[in-house]
């Protein structure tokens, strides 16, 4: 497999430390040199983002993250800015102590963590970075809470202190930064769980380390890239682009099936049929005549539709009653078609475990994931990477664990992470649209992994475009116009 470029590669904290060691051992870049490069990079980012700032407050911790902060404060002094530093009374050891001494020799004054936060135009979080994997305690926790309440924007060095670098969880007090500059490599916790809420705007600096270093160290996961489908052949026809069957829409839930069906059309499926309750046929036809809704009252009526389908989207509005259960069994066991499972299709899988007989994509939210794994939601959210890998392996299916920083896992353990999306997408019907998007891509010939990765990215990017007028009030159907634009190749980062 080709090496993943540094801007898309996600590492655990342990892997990032291994990169640091390899830089020293193989390329002669010692840790103090890296510390100086990090300080230069972060100071440049501070000046670029807040050019009018003249008073810089720097909170330094006891380790190398604190060393980065001392050297940044030294650069601020040399640039004629006021640099106020709070640090532990213990001078520390190694490179961190060396950096502290360099700041003091430059005329810098160091106050204790117990001192009041200095008045500052910008504060710098250099407390812990990736050096902490538990909740901050005592003075450190109080300092973080004070920093979050000070009113000045915060620049975090490498990782907001208190945030877990691997999981993106904040088990206690954690810095809420306006911007974060990550050094050497992206840490995977920046992009999921609570990471996006704490990191602010993100920048990566590889500190000029050679590309060969990264080629020799495989990351744990990768970020999705903005992608689209290639242009169509001029002689194409609807039969070339696949037929999707959406199975769902029990009493009162026809909208879910309709949203999934239209989403499949909007990303280019040739034909979309909806197997649903009779009461939903006329409303769906009135709202979207390009869809083909059919009244299905049981397994026998579903069989012919399954035979025609290239892929089945199972679950939107399906319900868990006798009707939904019967259709679920037919689509899951008898149809032998590629599947996208969502919502009640997943809940029925919990209630009645079955082996999936062919290619499949699961799209659980954290609650559904917890039920599928037999744990609670908190356990899923504590380590979303472990949870999505466990789901993909247990069900031998590509799995997209939805939420802030949606994760996609293959049964092999490969994981991709979505960096797009916004809180406005926390509304009814968004999951149904994602189900239809992935099914529509599979119908056009994409394998489950490619369809899930492209589909999650398109869905989230469309949500960001649709939220341009505000996140509150965003509707699932608002994604349809930007979906059509994005799948055809308009760039959006």
Question: Would residue 280 be called left, alpha or beta, if left means φ above 0 and alpha means ψ between -120 and 50 degrees?
Answer: alpha
What homologous superfamily is domain 238-487 in, according to CATH?
A: Ribokinase (3.40.1190.20)
Over residues 372-400, the pLDDT tens digits come to 999 999 999 999 999 999 999 999 999 99
Over residues 159-216, the pLDDT tens digits come to 999 999 999 999 999 999 999 999 999 999 999 999 999 999 999 999 999 999 999 9
Residue 294 is predicted with a pLDDT of: 98
Residue 305 is predicted with a pLDDT of: 96
Over the range 370-380, which residues count as b (16 or more CB within 10 Å of their CB) and which as e?
A: bbbbeeeeeeb
Residue 132 is predicted with a pLDDT of: 86
Closest by CA to 390, choosing from 118, 405, 128, 407, is 407
DSSP label at 3? P
Report whether pLDDT(477) > 80: yes
Report whether pLDDT(471) > 60: yes
Residue 69 is predicted with a pLDDT of: 98
Tracing tokens 């049964």 back to the chain, one arrives at: 411
The set of long-range contacts for 384-389, using a CB threshold of 8 Å and a minimum separation of 24, is 384/167, 384/168, 384/192, 384/193, 385/166, 385/167, 385/188, 385/192, 385/220, 385/221, 385/415, 388/415, 389/413, 389/415
Q: Which fold has domain 6-219?
A: Rossmann fold (3.40.50)
Residue 491 is predicted with a pLDDT of: 54
End-to-end Cα spacing for the chain: 25
Domain ranges of the chain: 6-219, 238-487
Instruction: Extract the runs of DSSP E, i.e. beta strands, from 199-265.
Output: 201-205, 221-223, 243-247
Q: Which residues contact 10 (CB under 8 A, 6 or more apart)?
A: 185, 186, 187, 188, 191, 219, 220, 221, 222, 223, 417
Average pLDDT score, the chain: 96
Residue 155 is predicted with a pLDDT of: 98
Over residues 398-432, the pLDDT tens digits come to 999 999 999 999 999 999 999 999 999 999 999 99
DSSP label at 85? E
Q: What is the mean pLDDT of residues 219-234?
A: 96
Pairing verdict, β 201-205 and 179-183: parallel
pLDDT grade for 15, boundaries at 50, 70 and 90: very high
Are 433 and 479 within 8 A, CB to CB? yes
Q: Calculate ∠ Cα 423-429-430, nearest 5°.
A: 45
Report whether pLDDT(493) > 50: no
Look at residue 200 and give its three-state secondary structure: coil
Q: Pinpoint the alpha helices (H) of 352-429.
A: 366-373, 377-382, 384-395
Report whether pLDDT(2) > 80: no
Residue 133 is predicted with a pLDDT of: 83
Are 60 and 126 within 8 A, CB to CB? yes
Residue 232 is predicted with a pLDDT of: 94
Q: What is the mean pLDDT of residues 51-65?
A: 97
| 272 vs 336: CA distance, rounded Å | 18
Over residues 297-338, the pLDDT tens digits come to 999 999 999 999 999 999 999 999 999 999 999 999 889 999
Overall size of the chain counted in residues: 493
Closest by CA to 255, choosing from 475, 481, 484, 483, is 475
Instruction: Extract the runs of DSSP E, i.e. beta strands, from 170-291.
Output: 179-183, 186-187, 201-205, 221-223, 243-247, 271-276
Q: What is the mean pLDDT of residues 211-224?
A: 95
Are 227 and 238 within 8 A, CB to CB? no
| 154 vs 201: CA distance, rounded Å | 11
Over residues 83-131, the pLDDT tens digits come to 999 999 987 889 999 999 999 999 999 999 999 998 999 999 999 999 8
Residue 486: both structure tokens together: 């994005």
Percent of the chain with pLDDT over 90: 96
Percent of the chain with pLDDT over 70: 99
Whether this prediction's pTM lies above 0.75 is answered by yes
What are the distances in angstroms from CA 354 to CA 339, 345, 395?
14, 11, 9
């Amino acid at each position: 497999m080709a090496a993943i470029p540094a801007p898309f590669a996600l590492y655990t904290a342990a892997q990032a430390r291994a990169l640091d060691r390899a830089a020293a051992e193989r390329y002669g870049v010692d840790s103090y040199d890296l510390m100086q490069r990090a300080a230069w990079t972060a100071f440049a980012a501070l000046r670029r983002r807040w050019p009018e700032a003249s008073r810089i407050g720097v909170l330094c911790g006891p380790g190398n993250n604190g060393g980065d902060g001392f050297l940044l404060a030294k650069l601020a002094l040399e640039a004629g800015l006021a640099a106020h530093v709070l640090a532990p009374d213990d001078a520390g050891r190694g490179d961190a102590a060396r950096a502290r001494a360099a700041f003091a020799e430059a005329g810098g004054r160091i106050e204790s963590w117990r001192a009041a936060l200095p008045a500052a135009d910008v504060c710098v979080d250099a407390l812990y970075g990736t050096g902490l994997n538990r909740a901050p305690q005592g003075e450190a926790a109080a300092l973080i809470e004070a920093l979050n309440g000070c009113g000045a924007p915060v620049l975090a060095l490498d990782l907001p202190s208190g945030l877990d670098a691997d999981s993106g969880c904040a088990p206690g007090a954690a810095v809420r930064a306006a911007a974060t500059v990550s050094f050497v490599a992206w840490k995977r916790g920046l992009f999921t769980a609570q990471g996006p809420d704490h990191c602010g705007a993100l920048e990566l600096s590889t500190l000029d380390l050679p590309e060969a270093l990264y080629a020799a160290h495989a990351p744990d996961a990768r970020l999705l890239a903005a992608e689209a489908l290639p242009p169509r052949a001029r002689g194409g026809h609807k039969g070339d682009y696949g037929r999707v069957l959406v199975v769902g829409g029990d009493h009162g839930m026809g909208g879910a099936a309709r949203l999934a069906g239209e989403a499949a059309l909007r990303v280019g499926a040739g034909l979309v049929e909806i197997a649903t309750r009779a009461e939903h046929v006329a409303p769906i036809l009135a709202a979207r005549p390009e869809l083909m809704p059919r009244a299905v009252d049981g397994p026998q009526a579903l069989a012919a539709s399954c035979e025609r389908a290239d892929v089945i989207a199972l679950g939107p509005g399906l319900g868990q009653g006798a009707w939904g259960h019967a259709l679920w069994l037919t689509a899951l066991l008898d149809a032998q078609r590629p599947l996208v499972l969502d919502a009640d299709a997943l809940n029925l899988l919990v209630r009645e475990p079955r082996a999936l007989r062919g290619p499949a994509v699961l799209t659980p939210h954290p609650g559904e994931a917890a039920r599928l794994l037999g744990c609670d939601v908190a356990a899923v959210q504590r380590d979303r990477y472990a949870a999505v890998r466990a789901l993909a392996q247990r069900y031998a299916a590509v799995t997209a664990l939805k939420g802030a920083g949606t994760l996609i896992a293959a049964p092999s353990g490969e994981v991709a992470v979505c960096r797009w999306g916004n809180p406005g997408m926390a509304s009814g019907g968004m999951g149904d649209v994602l189900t239809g998007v992935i099914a529509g891509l599979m119908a056009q010939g994409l394998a489950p992994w490619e369809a899930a990765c492209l589909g999650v990215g398109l869905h989230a990017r469309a949500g960001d475009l649709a939220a341009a007028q505000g996140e509150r009030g965003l509707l699932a159907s608002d994604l349809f116009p930007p979906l059509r634009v994005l799948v055809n190749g308009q760039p959006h980062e």
